[in-house]
Amino acid sequence: MLQGLLQIALTLLIVVAITPFFGRYMARVYQEQRTFLDPILNPVEQVLYSLVDVATKEGMTGWQYARAILYSNIVMALLIFFILMSQGWLPFNPTKIGASNWDTALHTTISFITNTNQQHYSGETYVSYVSQMWGLGYHMFTSAATGLTVGIAFIRGLTGRPLGNFYVDVIRSITRVLLPICIVGGIALMAAGVPETLAGPVVIPTLEDPNISQAIARDPVAHFEIIKQLGENGGGFFAINSAHPFENPNGFSNLIEIKVTLSKLV
């Protein structure tokens, strides 16, 4: 009990300590003011802006902003549905998992594109690595970034400021907010023992009978787990979220994941 209370107290102290700094940093990001990540991220973002044809960063009207959200999410939904239906012949599929059922693929697509992340499947047996990383993991970033941009646009509207450009906002949300946290958090989770590998399951004999083998799924979990906790908390690699020992093996990983989850309240 004492350990649990100490962990709660430590988590709250960390949240209180970083809130002013992280809040100011996010304000500078969405006001397009200078931050310490500019030398690294400005060239990257320029490439991304050119890919989506946002060279001038022109502001949008309310209808243009809403239309950009709708169109981009339709394209992303088609992408994730295609990946789930095609995973049988896509790479990074060491267990040779076949295509998803169309209804499960449709439900998963709608669930992840709307940031609800409800699962009607078991991750390690129903979806391949490529579906987890290129499909579901990608949408964990984009759906969370979309939520951030909508909130920022709403605040701008309330204060009488221009709404900004959706594509600029969503790119900056990923590159300057979500991705830096996930890089640091993913490395910390790997240090805590969360697996991060493209290798297939490990086959070992059971303790009860050495002649009987069992397969233990490993998977590229660490980078997936951190954006899951930061973006929405649902859609875990093993379908039981952070109750699985490979997603949350010890007290240190639990502290990281609780802290990242609480950071959404900052």
What digits encode the pLDDT tens for the residues 87-144? 989 888 888 888 888 999 999 899 888 888 788 887 778 888 999 888 888 888 999 9
Length of the chain counted residue by residue: 266
pLDDT of residue 55: 60
CB-count exposure of residue 155 (10 Å: 0-12, 13-18, 19+): exposed
Quote the number of domains for the chain: 1
The token duo for 99 is: 């295509």
pLDDT of residue 33: 86
pLDDT of residue 85: 93
pLDDT of residue 57: 67
pLDDT of residue 213: 83
pLDDT of residue 31: 86
Q: Please list the ranges in the chain whose pLDDT falls under 50.
A: none
pLDDT of residue 94: 86
Q: Which residues are bridge partners to 216 per DSSP?
A: 202
Full domain range(s) for residue 239: 2-263
Phi, psi angles (nearest 5°) of residue 113: -70, -25
CB atoms within 10 A of CB 22: 15
Q: How far is CA 209 from the centre of its chain?
A: 40
